[in-house]
Structure 1
Amino acid sequence: GVDKGLLELNGKPLWQHVADTLMTQLSHVVVNANRHQEIYQASGLKVIEDSLADYPGPLAGMLSVMQQEAGEWFLFCPCDTPYIPEDLAARLNHQRKDAPVVWVHDGERDHPTIALVNRAIEPLLLEYLQAGERRVMAFMRLAGGHAVDFSDHKDAFVNVNTPEELARWQEKR
Protein backbone atom coordinates (compact mmCIF):
# COMPACT_ATOMS: atom_id res chain seq x y z
CA GLY A 1 0.00 0.00 0.00
CA VAL A 2 0.83 3.66 -0.22
CA ASP A 3 2.70 5.24 2.70
CA LYS A 4 0.11 7.88 3.66
CA GLY A 5 2.70 10.14 5.20
CA LEU A 6 4.36 10.58 1.82
CA LEU A 7 1.21 11.73 0.00
CA GLU A 8 1.55 15.41 -0.85
CA LEU A 9 -0.74 18.21 0.25
CA ASN A 10 -0.04 21.55 -1.42
CA GLY A 11 3.36 20.32 -2.61
CA LYS A 12 4.56 18.99 0.75
CA PRO A 13 4.27 15.45 2.19
CA LEU A 14 1.59 15.02 4.88
CA TRP A 15 4.15 13.96 7.50
CA GLN A 16 6.15 17.15 6.89
CA HIS A 17 3.07 19.31 7.60
CA VAL A 18 2.72 17.51 10.95
CA ALA A 19 6.45 17.69 11.76
CA ASP A 20 6.65 21.38 10.87
CA THR A 21 3.73 22.21 13.17
CA LEU A 22 5.15 20.10 16.01
CA MET A 23 8.58 21.72 15.67
CA THR A 24 7.03 25.07 16.58
CA GLN A 25 5.70 23.53 19.82
CA LEU A 26 8.36 21.06 20.96
CA SER A 27 12.10 21.06 21.55
CA HIS A 28 12.64 17.66 19.89
CA VAL A 29 10.74 15.83 17.14
CA VAL A 30 11.34 12.29 15.86
CA VAL A 31 9.58 10.17 13.25
CA ASN A 32 8.35 6.62 13.93
CA ALA A 33 8.36 4.76 10.60
CA ASN A 34 8.74 1.17 9.51
CA ARG A 35 9.03 1.86 5.78
CA HIS A 36 10.84 4.44 3.66
CA GLN A 37 13.07 5.46 6.59
CA GLU A 38 15.61 7.02 4.21
CA ILE A 39 13.01 9.52 2.95
CA TYR A 40 12.16 10.63 6.49
CA GLN A 41 15.85 10.70 7.49
CA ALA A 42 16.61 13.05 4.59
CA SER A 43 14.71 15.72 6.56
CA GLY A 44 17.36 15.58 9.27
CA LEU A 45 14.96 14.16 11.85
CA LYS A 46 15.77 10.98 13.74
CA VAL A 47 13.71 8.00 12.56
CA ILE A 48 12.72 5.25 15.00
CA GLU A 49 11.48 1.87 13.83
CA ASP A 50 9.09 -0.27 15.90
CA SER A 51 10.95 -2.48 18.36
CA LEU A 52 8.28 -5.21 18.30
CA ALA A 53 8.00 -7.73 15.48
CA ASP A 54 5.14 -7.48 12.98
CA TYR A 55 4.68 -3.72 13.62
CA PRO A 56 1.55 -4.15 15.78
CA GLY A 57 0.04 -0.70 15.34
CA PRO A 58 0.27 2.81 16.83
CA LEU A 59 0.91 1.67 20.40
CA ALA A 60 4.03 -0.20 19.27
CA GLY A 61 5.32 3.02 17.75
CA MET A 62 4.67 4.88 20.99
CA LEU A 63 6.51 2.20 22.96
CA SER A 64 9.48 2.25 20.58
CA VAL A 65 9.87 6.01 20.86
CA MET A 66 9.71 5.89 24.67
CA GLN A 67 12.28 3.08 24.71
CA GLN A 68 14.74 5.00 22.54
CA GLU A 69 14.27 8.63 23.54
CA ALA A 70 14.92 10.53 26.75
CA GLY A 71 12.26 12.67 28.36
CA GLU A 72 9.31 12.47 30.71
CA TRP A 73 6.50 13.49 28.32
CA PHE A 74 5.91 12.50 24.71
CA LEU A 75 3.46 14.01 22.24
CA PHE A 76 2.35 11.56 19.56
CA CYS A 77 0.59 12.51 16.37
CA PRO A 78 -0.08 10.42 13.24
CA CYS A 79 1.37 11.53 9.92
CA ASP A 80 -2.02 11.85 8.23
CA THR A 81 -3.33 14.79 10.29
CA PRO A 82 -1.74 17.78 8.51
CA TYR A 83 -3.94 20.45 10.15
CA ILE A 84 -3.15 19.90 13.84
CA PRO A 85 -3.44 23.16 15.79
CA GLU A 86 -0.47 25.35 16.70
CA ASP A 87 -1.38 25.03 20.40
CA LEU A 88 -1.84 21.24 20.48
CA ALA A 89 0.98 20.53 22.96
CA ALA A 90 0.14 23.45 25.25
CA ARG A 91 -3.57 22.61 25.44
CA LEU A 92 -3.02 18.92 26.08
CA ASN A 93 -0.50 19.75 28.80
CA HIS A 94 -2.70 22.43 30.36
CA GLN A 95 -5.76 20.15 30.51
CA ARG A 96 -4.08 16.93 31.62
CA LYS A 97 -4.43 17.57 35.35
CA ASP A 98 -2.65 14.58 36.95
CA ALA A 99 -3.38 12.07 34.19
CA PRO A 100 -0.45 10.09 32.76
CA VAL A 101 -2.00 10.31 29.29
CA VAL A 102 -4.44 12.62 27.53
CA TRP A 103 -5.76 12.59 24.00
CA VAL A 104 -7.77 14.77 21.64
CA HIS A 105 -11.56 14.73 21.43
CA ASP A 106 -12.90 16.85 18.55
CA GLY A 107 -16.43 17.23 19.94
CA GLU A 108 -17.67 14.11 18.17
CA ARG A 109 -14.97 11.50 18.42
CA ASP A 110 -11.82 10.55 20.24
CA HIS A 111 -8.42 10.69 18.56
CA PRO A 112 -6.33 8.52 20.91
CA THR A 113 -3.32 8.46 18.59
CA ILE A 114 -2.97 12.23 19.10
CA ALA A 115 -1.85 12.01 22.69
CA LEU A 116 0.41 13.42 25.36
CA VAL A 117 1.92 10.45 27.20
CA ASN A 118 4.05 10.20 30.35
CA ARG A 119 6.98 7.80 30.44
CA ALA A 120 5.51 6.25 33.62
CA ILE A 121 3.08 4.22 31.50
CA GLU A 122 5.84 2.54 29.47
CA PRO A 123 5.91 -0.70 31.56
CA LEU A 124 2.11 -0.99 31.40
CA LEU A 125 2.21 -0.41 27.64
CA LEU A 126 4.84 -3.10 27.12
CA GLU A 127 2.81 -5.57 29.19
CA TYR A 128 -0.37 -4.68 27.26
CA LEU A 129 1.30 -5.24 23.89
CA GLN A 130 3.02 -8.44 25.01
CA ALA A 131 -0.42 -9.77 26.01
CA GLY A 132 -1.46 -9.34 22.37
CA GLU A 133 -3.63 -6.27 22.93
CA ARG A 134 -3.63 -3.57 20.26
CA ARG A 135 -6.61 -1.28 20.93
CA VAL A 136 -5.36 2.26 21.48
CA MET A 137 -8.48 3.68 23.15
CA ALA A 138 -8.75 0.74 25.55
CA PHE A 139 -5.12 1.21 26.58
CA MET A 140 -5.46 4.95 27.11
CA ARG A 141 -8.37 4.37 29.47
CA LEU A 142 -6.58 1.50 31.22
CA ALA A 143 -3.61 3.82 31.79
CA GLY A 144 -5.85 6.33 33.58
CA GLY A 145 -6.11 8.92 30.85
CA HIS A 146 -8.86 11.25 29.70
CA ALA A 147 -9.83 13.22 26.61
CA VAL A 148 -9.19 16.93 26.12
CA ASP A 149 -11.85 18.97 24.32
CA PHE A 150 -10.76 20.41 20.99
CA SER A 151 -14.28 20.89 19.60
CA ASP A 152 -13.29 24.43 18.60
CA HIS A 153 -10.75 22.87 16.18
CA LYS A 154 -12.88 20.08 14.76
CA ASP A 155 -11.43 20.20 11.23
CA ALA A 156 -7.88 20.13 12.57
CA PHE A 157 -8.10 16.41 13.31
CA VAL A 158 -9.53 15.08 10.07
CA ASN A 159 -7.14 12.40 8.95
CA VAL A 160 -6.41 11.92 5.29
CA ASN A 161 -6.71 8.25 4.34
CA THR A 162 -6.88 8.20 0.55
CA PRO A 163 -5.58 10.23 -2.38
CA GLU A 164 -9.22 11.16 -3.06
CA GLU A 165 -9.68 12.62 0.45
CA LEU A 166 -6.41 14.46 0.00
CA ALA A 167 -7.65 16.00 -3.25
CA ARG A 168 -10.85 17.16 -1.50
CA TRP A 169 -8.83 18.79 1.29
CA GLN A 170 -6.53 20.54 -1.17
CA GLU A 171 -9.62 22.05 -2.80
CA LYS A 172 -10.96 23.25 0.58
CA ARG A 173 -7.82 24.94 1.85
Structure 2
Amino acid sequence: MIEPAELAVVVLAGGEGRRIGGGKPLRKLGGETLIDRALRKARRWSPYVAVALRAETHLGAVDADRLSDDSDVAGPLAGVAAALRYAKKAGRAALLTIPCDTPFVPDDLASRLVIEIGDAAVAVAASGGEIHPVCALWKVEALANLAGYVASGRRSLRGFAAEIGFRVAEWPSEPIDPFFNVNTAEELAQAEAWLARRNADPVG
Protein backbone atom coordinates (compact mmCIF):
# COMPACT_ATOMS: atom_id res chain seq x y z
CA MET A 1 0.00 0.00 0.00
CA ILE A 2 1.12 3.54 -0.74
CA GLU A 3 2.00 5.39 2.46
CA PRO A 4 0.84 8.99 2.98
CA ALA A 5 4.48 10.05 3.28
CA GLU A 6 5.01 8.90 -0.31
CA LEU A 7 2.53 11.37 -1.79
CA ALA A 8 2.99 14.61 -3.67
CA VAL A 9 -0.06 16.84 -4.10
CA VAL A 10 -0.53 19.20 -7.01
CA VAL A 11 -3.34 21.75 -7.35
CA LEU A 12 -4.46 22.12 -10.96
CA ALA A 13 -4.99 25.81 -11.75
CA GLY A 14 -4.44 26.01 -15.49
CA GLY A 15 -7.99 26.74 -16.63
CA GLU A 16 -8.73 30.13 -18.16
CA GLY A 17 -11.92 30.63 -16.15
CA ARG A 18 -13.68 32.47 -18.98
CA ARG A 19 -17.18 31.77 -17.65
CA ILE A 20 -16.36 33.55 -14.39
CA GLY A 21 -14.57 36.44 -16.10
CA GLY A 22 -11.02 35.17 -15.71
CA GLY A 23 -8.70 34.95 -12.71
CA LYS A 24 -10.64 32.09 -11.17
CA PRO A 25 -7.90 30.90 -8.75
CA LEU A 26 -7.95 34.34 -7.10
CA ARG A 27 -11.72 34.51 -6.64
CA LYS A 28 -12.63 34.47 -2.97
CA LEU A 29 -14.81 32.08 -1.02
CA GLY A 30 -15.33 32.78 2.65
CA GLY A 31 -12.70 35.52 2.47
CA GLU A 32 -10.05 33.11 1.12
CA THR A 33 -8.95 32.73 -2.48
CA LEU A 34 -9.81 29.45 -4.16
CA ILE A 35 -6.12 28.71 -4.72
CA ASP A 36 -5.22 29.36 -1.08
CA ARG A 37 -8.11 27.18 0.06
CA ALA A 38 -6.93 24.33 -2.17
CA LEU A 39 -3.33 24.66 -1.02
CA ARG A 40 -4.38 24.65 2.63
CA LYS A 41 -6.18 21.37 2.05
CA ALA A 42 -3.28 19.93 0.05
CA ARG A 43 -0.81 20.58 2.88
CA ARG A 44 -2.84 18.34 5.17
CA TRP A 45 -1.91 15.43 2.94
CA SER A 46 1.74 16.07 2.05
CA PRO A 47 4.65 18.49 2.50
CA TYR A 48 5.31 18.09 -1.24
CA VAL A 49 2.80 20.56 -2.66
CA ALA A 50 2.82 22.46 -5.95
CA VAL A 51 0.52 24.37 -8.30
CA ALA A 52 0.26 23.53 -12.01
CA LEU A 53 -0.74 26.46 -14.20
CA ARG A 54 -0.42 27.94 -17.64
CA ALA A 55 2.56 30.23 -18.12
CA GLU A 56 0.35 33.31 -18.49
CA THR A 57 -1.62 32.69 -15.28
CA HIS A 58 -1.05 35.30 -12.56
CA LEU A 59 -1.46 34.13 -8.97
CA GLY A 60 0.52 36.73 -7.06
CA ALA A 61 2.30 35.48 -3.94
CA VAL A 62 1.58 31.79 -3.47
CA ASP A 63 3.63 29.71 -1.04
CA ALA A 64 4.09 26.63 -3.22
CA ASP A 65 6.23 25.37 -6.07
CA ARG A 66 4.88 26.45 -9.46
CA LEU A 67 4.76 24.05 -12.39
CA SER A 68 4.11 25.04 -15.98
CA ASP A 69 1.44 23.01 -17.74
CA ASP A 70 2.78 20.98 -20.65
CA SER A 71 2.39 23.33 -23.63
CA ASP A 72 1.97 20.41 -26.03
CA VAL A 73 -1.07 19.09 -24.18
CA ALA A 74 -4.53 20.65 -23.85
CA GLY A 75 -6.83 20.76 -20.84
CA PRO A 76 -6.32 19.21 -17.40
CA LEU A 77 -4.05 16.50 -18.83
CA ALA A 78 -1.42 19.23 -19.31
CA GLY A 79 -1.39 19.91 -15.58
CA VAL A 80 -1.31 16.22 -14.68
CA ALA A 81 1.64 15.71 -17.04
CA ALA A 82 3.62 18.45 -15.28
CA ALA A 83 2.50 17.17 -11.89
CA LEU A 84 3.62 13.60 -12.57
CA ARG A 85 7.07 14.87 -13.55
CA TYR A 86 7.20 16.91 -10.33
CA ALA A 87 6.26 13.90 -8.22
CA LYS A 88 8.84 11.71 -9.93
CA LYS A 89 11.58 14.31 -9.46
CA ALA A 90 10.63 14.58 -5.77
CA GLY A 91 10.99 10.82 -5.40
CA ARG A 92 7.33 10.29 -4.52
CA ALA A 93 5.52 7.04 -5.31
CA ALA A 94 2.19 8.67 -6.11
CA LEU A 95 0.58 11.95 -7.03
CA LEU A 96 -2.71 13.33 -5.76
CA THR A 97 -4.32 15.98 -7.95
CA ILE A 98 -7.10 18.37 -7.02
CA PRO A 99 -8.42 21.37 -8.97
CA CYS A 100 -8.36 24.84 -7.46
CA ASP A 101 -12.05 25.34 -8.26
CA THR A 102 -13.48 22.41 -6.27
CA PRO A 103 -13.63 24.01 -2.82
CA PHE A 104 -15.29 21.22 -0.84
CA VAL A 105 -13.01 18.26 -1.60
CA PRO A 106 -13.39 15.83 1.31
CA ASP A 107 -10.79 15.58 4.07
CA ASP A 108 -10.55 11.83 3.53
CA LEU A 109 -9.81 12.13 -0.20
CA ALA A 110 -6.18 11.04 0.06
CA SER A 111 -6.73 8.23 2.56
CA ARG A 112 -9.64 6.68 0.67
CA LEU A 113 -7.91 6.84 -2.71
CA VAL A 114 -4.77 5.27 -1.21
CA ILE A 115 -6.89 2.36 0.01
CA GLU A 116 -8.79 2.07 -3.27
CA ILE A 117 -5.91 2.14 -5.74
CA GLY A 118 -4.56 -1.34 -5.02
CA ASP A 119 -2.65 -2.60 -8.07
CA ALA A 120 -4.35 -0.12 -10.44
CA ALA A 121 -2.48 2.83 -11.92
CA VAL A 122 -5.07 5.39 -10.83
CA ALA A 123 -7.81 5.79 -8.23
CA VAL A 124 -10.47 8.33 -9.19
CA ALA A 125 -13.02 10.09 -6.98
CA ALA A 126 -16.71 9.90 -7.88
CA SER A 127 -20.00 11.31 -6.62
CA GLY A 128 -23.56 11.05 -7.84
CA GLY A 129 -22.51 8.36 -10.30
CA GLU A 130 -20.01 10.68 -12.04
CA ILE A 131 -16.25 10.24 -11.93
CA HIS A 132 -13.94 13.22 -11.34
CA PRO A 133 -10.54 12.40 -12.89
CA VAL A 134 -9.08 15.75 -11.80
CA CYS A 135 -9.50 14.47 -8.21
CA ALA A 136 -7.38 11.37 -8.44
CA LEU A 137 -4.41 9.47 -7.10
CA TRP A 138 -1.88 8.57 -9.81
CA LYS A 139 1.00 6.17 -9.40
CA VAL A 140 4.09 7.92 -10.74
CA GLU A 141 4.82 5.11 -13.17
CA ALA A 142 1.78 6.32 -15.14
CA LEU A 143 4.17 8.90 -16.58
CA ALA A 144 5.70 6.18 -18.75
CA ASN A 145 2.39 5.80 -20.61
CA LEU A 146 1.75 9.49 -21.13
CA ALA A 147 3.96 10.20 -24.16
CA GLY A 148 2.41 7.38 -26.19
CA TYR A 149 -1.10 8.46 -25.26
CA VAL A 150 -0.45 12.08 -26.31
CA ALA A 151 1.34 10.97 -29.49
CA SER A 152 -1.83 9.13 -30.50
CA GLY A 153 -3.62 12.47 -30.65
CA ARG A 154 -5.70 11.94 -27.54
CA ARG A 155 -6.00 14.62 -24.84
CA SER A 156 -8.78 13.41 -22.53
CA LEU A 157 -7.82 13.04 -18.89
CA ARG A 158 -10.65 10.56 -18.41
CA GLY A 159 -9.40 8.67 -21.45
CA PHE A 160 -5.86 8.52 -20.08
CA ALA A 161 -7.12 7.12 -16.79
CA ALA A 162 -9.09 4.49 -18.70
CA GLU A 163 -6.08 3.69 -20.86
CA ILE A 164 -3.85 2.83 -17.92
CA GLY A 165 -6.56 1.37 -15.67
CA PHE A 166 -8.39 3.00 -12.79
CA ARG A 167 -10.52 2.22 -9.77
CA VAL A 168 -13.25 4.39 -8.32
CA ALA A 169 -13.97 5.62 -4.78
CA GLU A 170 -17.50 7.00 -4.40
CA TRP A 171 -18.64 9.79 -2.06
CA PRO A 172 -22.27 10.79 -1.36
CA SER A 173 -23.42 13.87 -3.25
CA GLU A 174 -25.84 15.03 -0.56
CA PRO A 175 -26.33 17.39 1.20
CA ILE A 176 -23.43 19.01 -0.71
CA ASP A 177 -21.51 17.36 -3.51
CA PRO A 178 -17.89 17.40 -2.26
CA PHE A 179 -16.75 17.71 -5.88
CA PHE A 180 -18.94 20.70 -6.73
CA ASN A 181 -17.05 22.72 -9.32
CA VAL A 182 -17.08 26.54 -9.43
CA ASN A 183 -17.18 27.78 -13.03
CA THR A 184 -19.48 30.80 -12.90
CA ALA A 185 -20.29 33.70 -10.61
CA GLU A 186 -23.60 32.00 -9.79
CA GLU A 187 -21.83 28.81 -8.74
CA LEU A 188 -19.43 30.81 -6.58
CA ALA A 189 -22.43 32.44 -4.89
CA GLN A 190 -23.93 28.98 -4.33
CA ALA A 191 -20.67 27.78 -2.77
CA GLU A 192 -20.64 30.87 -0.53
CA ALA A 193 -24.16 30.08 0.67
CA TRP A 194 -23.24 26.46 1.37
CA LEU A 195 -20.13 27.50 3.25
CA ALA A 196 -22.09 29.96 5.39
CA ARG A 197 -24.63 27.25 6.19
CA ARG A 198 -21.91 24.76 7.07
CA ASN A 199 -20.15 27.28 9.33
CA ALA A 200 -23.42 28.07 11.08
CA ASP A 201 -24.24 24.40 11.58
CA PRO A 202 -20.97 22.39 11.30
CA VAL A 203 -22.61 19.19 12.55
CA GLY A 204 -25.39 19.36 9.98
Tell me the TM-score normalised to structure 2 length: 0.77
For 1:17 and 1:73, the matched residues in 2 are separated by: 22
What do residues 51-93 of structure 1 show as CA deviations (whole Å, max 9, x unaligned)? Answer: 333x511111111122234212000011100111111101100
The structure 1 residue matched to 2:50, chosen from 19, 27, 30, is 30
Root mean square deviation, CA, Å = 1.7
Aligned length: 170
- For 1:151, give the aligned amino acid: P
For 1:38 and 1:144, the matched residues in 2 are separated by: 34
Tell me the TM-score normalised to structure 1 length: 0.90
What do residues 34-60 of structure 1 show as CA deviations (whole Å, max 9, x unaligned)? Answer: 133452xx222011001333x511111
Q: Which has the higher helix share?
A: 1
In the alignment, structure 1 residue 113 sits paired with structure 2 residue 134? yes
For 2:59 and 2:168, the matched residues in 1 are separated by: 34
For the residue of structure 1 that corresponds to 2:96, the secondary structure is strand
In the alignment, structure 1 residue 74 sits paired with structure 2 residue 92? no
1:171 to partner: Cα distance: 1.7
The structure 2 residue matched to 1:104, chosen from 125, 129, 142, is 125
For 1:107 and 1:169, the matched residues in 2 are separated by: 18
Map 1:54-73; keep pairs closer than 5 Å: 55-69=73-87, 70=90, 71-73=92-94
Map 1:1-173; keep pairs closer than 5 Å: 1=18, 2-34=22-54, 35-39=56-60, 42-53=61-72, 55-69=73-87, 70=90, 71-151=92-172, 155-173=177-195
- The unaligned stretches of length 5 or more in structure 2 are 1-17, 196-204
